[in-house]
Amino acid sequence: MDSIVTTEDTIAAIASAISIGKGGVAIIRVSGKDSINSCKKIVQTKSKYAWESHRVFHGFIQENKQNKFIDEVLISVMKSPNSFTGEDVVELHCHGGIIIVNKVLKILLSSNSRVRLANPGEFSQRAFLNGKIDLTQAESINQLINASNTRSAELAFSGIQGEIKKKINDIKNDLINQLCEIEARVDFEEDFTDFDYTKYLKNIKKVKEKIELLIENAKRNSYIHNGISIALIGKTNVGKSSLLNLLAKKEKAIVTNIPGTTRDVIEINLTINDIPMKIIDTAGIRETSEQIERIGIKKSFRKIKESDFIIYIYSLEEGFNEEDKKIIQEIPKEKLITILGNKKDLIDCKNINSNELKNTILMSIKNNDGERLLIDTIIKKCGLKQVENINIFLNERHLANLSACLSNLNDTDEIIKNKLPFDLLSIELRDGIQNLSKITGQELTEELLDNIFSKFCIGK
Ligand SMILES: Nc1nc2c(c(=O)[nH]1)N(C=O)[C@@H](CNc1ccc(C(=O)N[C@@H](CCC(=O)O)C(=O)O)cc1)CN2
Ligand SMILES: Nc1nc2c(ncn2[C@@H]2O[C@H](COP(=O)(O)OP(=O)(O)OP(=O)(O)O)[C@@H](O)[C@H]2O)c(=O)[nH]1
Ligand SMILES: [K+]
Ligand SMILES: [Mg+2]
C-alpha cells in the first residue's frame, strides 16, 4: 500500500456538535506528534497530573503567553499508541460557546506551524491508516453519527464493534482455503486429475449462500436506515384517504363521498417491522377542469415517480376499468406492491372474475377488513422479511464489492463446467478475494480513501 496521507502534520478540530452554537462543554481534539507540545504552549496548569497519559487535569487557556486567561478547561492526554488515532492525542474540554471554542482553536492553530485544521474524517482516517480500525468500522462511525433512529444506531454500533469485518473475513477465509487447494495443484500440474470438482462446487455453493444471505439482509437493513415511502394511488373516491387514516389510526385526511376530496399530498410516518415508512395519500386521478384539483393530480403523478413503492387502489363496486388500466401503466412494475380492490362489503365476491383477482387483494377499508393481509403483503413485496437476524448494515460500496465477488464465484463454476484451464480458476478466486479485501480496506486506492472520508464531518 502506498503511503496515502502525510501524517507529519498535527491536526486539530472541534470534535463536539457546534452547529447549534451552544452546549455545556465543547471538545477540541488534537492528534499528531506536536499535539502535546502545541497545547503546552497555550495552557497553564498547576495540576500534579498535568500531561500524563489517560488522566484528566485542570488548566487555563492563555492568549499570547500573557497571564490573561480566556477559558478554564479540563484536559486529557492519550499518548501513542493508546489513542483513537494511534497518535498522541490531546483533548481540550472548553466551555461550550461557539465564540470561545473557536477562539481556543484559533490560538492553538497559531501556536505551532505544524498544527493545522483537520480535514473531514481525518481523525478516523488516521485511526484506519494506523490500523486501529478497518474501513467498515470507520464507515460505521459515520453511520452512527448520521443515524436517524435507534435501530439504525444499533446496526451502526455493531459495525463499529467489527461485525462487518468479521463476516467479510469469514467468507474470505473460506475462499483462501479453496485457493490453497487449487494452487497446490497448479504447482504440480500432473496431479490435476485428482482435483475433486464436486467438492469444490459444493464448498463454493456454501460461500455463495453466505454472500447472498448478507445481501438479502442488507436490503432490509438499508430500509431500516433510510426508511421507505409508499404512495396510495387510484381514481377518486376509491378509499385512499380512508386507508391512510386506517394505517395512521387517526383521522389525518378528510374523507367524504365527494370525488376529488383530497387535493394536496398528505404524508404520515409509521414503523412496521422496524422499518420507518412514509405513507403518502394523493389526489384521486380523473379528468377535471377544476384548477386546484388538476394541480393535485399532477402531484399524484409526481409521487408515482418519487416513491419507493405504490399501492394501487380501485373500487370493487365500480370494477377495474379502462381508466384504471391507463393509470396503472404509469406505474413501474417493480414499484407496485399490490392492486387493492376496496369496498368488498358492497359486492358479492363470487361475482368477481378470477382474472381480476391476480395480484390483487380485497379489502373493506371502511370495515377495517383486510389490514393484516395488506401489511403482510407490504412486508413480503418490499423484502422486509427478516431472513435471519444479521445485525449489520452494508452500504452501497460493500454491496458492490460483495456482488463482484459473487460474480467471480459464478465464473469459477463456468470455468469448471466448460473444463477451461485450471489456472483461470485460481485467477478468478484471487479476484474474488481481492474484492472482499476492498471492503475492509486491505486492498486500497487513494481515490477510495478520499471518497470515504470526505463524507465525514470535520472533527471525526
Ligand atoms: N472524548 C472522546 N470521546 C469519544 C471519542 C473520542 O475520541 N474522544 N471517540 C472517538 O471516536 C468515541 C470512543 N471511541 C474510542 C475508541 C478508541 C479509543 C482509544 O483510546 N483506544 C486506544 C486505547 C484503548 C484502551 O485504553 O483500552 C487503543 O485502541 O489503543 C478512544 C475512543 C466516542 N467518545
Ligand atoms: N362501502 C365502503 N365505502 C368505503 C370504503 N372505503 C371508503 N369508503 C367510502 O368511500 C368514500 C370515498 O373515500 P375516500 O377515502 O375519501 O376516497 P379517496 O380515494 O381518498 O377519494 P379522493 O380523495 O376524492 O380521491 C367515502 O365515503 C368513504 O367512506 C369501504 O371499504 N366500503
Ligand atoms: K372522496
Ligand atoms: Mg382522498
- Binned at pLDDT 50, 70 and 90, residue 148 comes out as confident
| Residue 427 CA: distances (Å) to CA of 61, 183, 188, 423, 437 | 60, 10, 17, 6, 15
Is the CB of 365 inside a 6 Å radius of any atom of ligand 2?
yes
Q: Find how far residue 267's CA is from the centre of its chain.
A: 23
Tell me how far the alpha carbon of residue 86 lies from the centroid of ligand 1, in angstroms.
10
Question: What length does the chain have?
Answer: 460
pLDDT tens per residue across span 299-340: 999 999 999 999 999 999 999 999 999 999 999 999 999 999
Cell of 26: 465543547
Q: Is the pLDDT of residue 4 over 90?
A: no
Tell me how far the alpha carbon of residue 241 lies from the centroid of ligand 3, in angstroms.
8
Determine, yes or no, domain membership for 150.
no
Q: Using alpha carbons, select from 240, 283, 282 the residue that is nearest to residue 260.
A: 283
d(CA 438, CA 446): 12
Atom of ligand 1 nearest to the CA of 81: 30
Tell me how far the alpha carbon of residue 268 lies from the centroid of ligand 4, in angstroms.
14
Q: Which residues are annotated as a binding site for K(+)?
A: 237, 256, 258, 261
Q: What average pLDDT does this structure show over 390-397?
A: 88
Tell me: do 374 and 242 sit in the same domain.
yes
- Binned at pLDDT 50, 70 and 90, residue 389 comes out as low
Determine, yes or no, domain membership for 74.
yes
d(CA 365, CA 442): 55
Q: Whose CA is nearest to atom 17 of ligand 1?
A: 84
Is the CB of 123 inside a 6 Å radius of any atom of ligand 1?
no
Is the CB of 132 inside a 6 Å radius of any atom of ligand 1?
yes
Unique residue bearing C-alpha cell 404524508: 267
Determine, yes or no, domain membership for 142.
no
Is the CB of 300 inside a 6 Å radius of any atom of ligand 2?
no
Mutate to test the pocket of ligand 2, among 242, 288, 340, 346 (most ligand atoms within 8 A of CB): 242
Q: Is the pLDDT of residue 229 over 50?
A: yes
Q: Using alpha carbons, select from 7, 132, 444 the residue that is nearest to residue 141.
A: 132
Mutate to test the pocket of ligand 1, among 84, 90, 160 (most ligand atoms within 8 A of CB): 84
Q: Whose CA is nearest to atom 10 of ligand 1?
A: 84
**How many separate helices (H) and strands (E) can be counted in the chain?**
15, 13
User: Given this model, what pLDDT does residue 19 score?
Assistant: 56
Is the CB of 311 inside a 6 Å radius of any atom of ligand 2?
no
Determine, yes or no, domain membership for 145.
no
Tell me: do 252 and 115 sit in the same domain.
no
Unique residue bearing C-alpha cell 431472513: 387
Instruction: Record the pTM.
Output: 0.77
Is the CB of 296 inside a 6 Å radius of any atom of ligand 2?
no
- Binned at pLDDT 50, 70 and 90, residue 182 comes out as confident
Tell me: do 212 and 271 sit in the same domain.
no
Determine, yes or no, domain membership for 234.
yes
Is the CB of 225 inside a 6 Å radius of any atom of ligand 2?
no
Looking at 361, 387, 413, which one is the last position of a domain? 387
- For residue 48, the enclosing domain spans 10-133
- Binned at pLDDT 50, 70 and 90, residue 192 comes out as low
Tally the domains of the chain.
Answer: 3
Looking at residue 93, its amino acid is H
Q: Which residues are annotated as a binding site for Mg(2+)?
A: 241, 262
**Quick check: helix, strand or coil at residue 6?**
coil
CATH number of residue 335's parent domain: 3.40.50.300
Report the side by side order of strands in the sheet with 266-272. Answer: 266-272, 275-281, 228-234, 309-315, 336-342, 360-362
pLDDT tens per residue across span 111-123: 899 999 999 999 9
CATH number of residue 49's parent domain: 3.30.1360.120
Determine, yes or no, domain membership for 3.
no
Is the CB of 83 inside a 6 Å radius of any atom of ligand 1?
yes
User: Given this model, what pLDDT does residue 5 score?
Assistant: 46
Atom of ligand 2 nearest to the CA of 342: 31
User: Given this model, what pLDDT does residue 356 score?
Assistant: 66
Tell me: do 179 and 200 sit in the same domain.
yes
Tell me: do 176 and 286 sit in the same domain.
no
Q: Using alpha carbons, select from 298, 332, 237, 227 the residue that is nearest to residue 269.
A: 227
Looking at residue 204, its amino acid is I
Q: Whose CA is nearest to atom 13 of ligand 1?
A: 84
Q: Find how far residue 240's CA is from the centre of its chain.
A: 31
Looking at residue 307, its amino acid is S
Tell me how far the alpha carbon of residue 339 lies from the centroid of ligand 3, in angstroms.
19
Determine, yes or no, domain membership for 4.
no
Tell me: do 181 and 76 sit in the same domain.
no
Cβ-proximal residues to 240 (8 Å cutoff; 6+ apart), any chain:
232, 233, 234, 262, 281, 282, 284, 313
Looking at residue 54, its amino acid is H
Tell me: do 34 and 100 sit in the same domain.
yes
Tell me: do 63 and 41 sit in the same domain.
yes
Determine, yes or no, domain membership for 261.
yes
Provide the β-strand partners of residue 43. 61
Tell me: do 366 and 247 sit in the same domain.
yes
Tell me how far the alpha carbon of residue 177 lies from the centroid of ligand 4, in angstroms.
60
Tell me how far the alpha carbon of residue 259 lies from the centroid of ligand 4, in angstroms.
8
Cβ-proximal residues to 3 (8 Å cutoff; 6+ apart), any chain:
none
Q: What average pLDDT does this structure show over 169-190?
A: 84
Tell me what the pLDDT averaged over the chain comes to. Answer: 91
User: Given this model, what pLDDT does residue 185 score?
Assistant: 75
**DSSP result, 425-439:** HHHHHHHHHHHHHHH
Tell me: do 197 and 274 sit in the same domain.
no
User: Given this model, what pLDDT does residue 2 score?
Assistant: 37
Looking at 360, 387, 414, which one is the last position of a domain? 387
* Of 344 and 457, more confident: 344
Is the CB of 342 inside a 6 Å radius of any atom of ligand 2?
yes
DSSP symbol at 53? B
Q: Is the pLDDT of residue 390 over 80?
A: no
CATH number of residue 413's parent domain: 1.20.120.430
pLDDT tens per residue across span 6-33: 468 999 999 987 656 677 899 999 999 9
Tell me: do 185 and 268 sit in the same domain.
no
- Binned at pLDDT 50, 70 and 90, residue 220 comes out as confident
**DSSP result, 199-230:** HHHHHHHHHHHHHHHHHHHHHHHHHHHH-EEE
Tell me: do 266 and 290 sit in the same domain.
yes
The torsion angles phi and psi of 418, rounded to 5 degrees, stand at -90, 10
For helices 122-129 and 135-146, the axis angle rounded to 10 degrees is 160
Cβ-proximal residues to 194 (8 Å cutoff; 6+ apart), any chain:
none
- Binned at pLDDT 50, 70 and 90, residue 448 comes out as confident
Q: Which residues are annotated as a binding site?
A: 29, 91, 132, 237-242, 256-262, 281-284, 460
Is the CB of 84 inside a 6 Å radius of any atom of ligand 1?
yes
Count Cβ neighbours within 10 Å for each residue of 133-146 and write b for 16 or more, e otherwise.
Answer: bbbbbbbbbbbbee
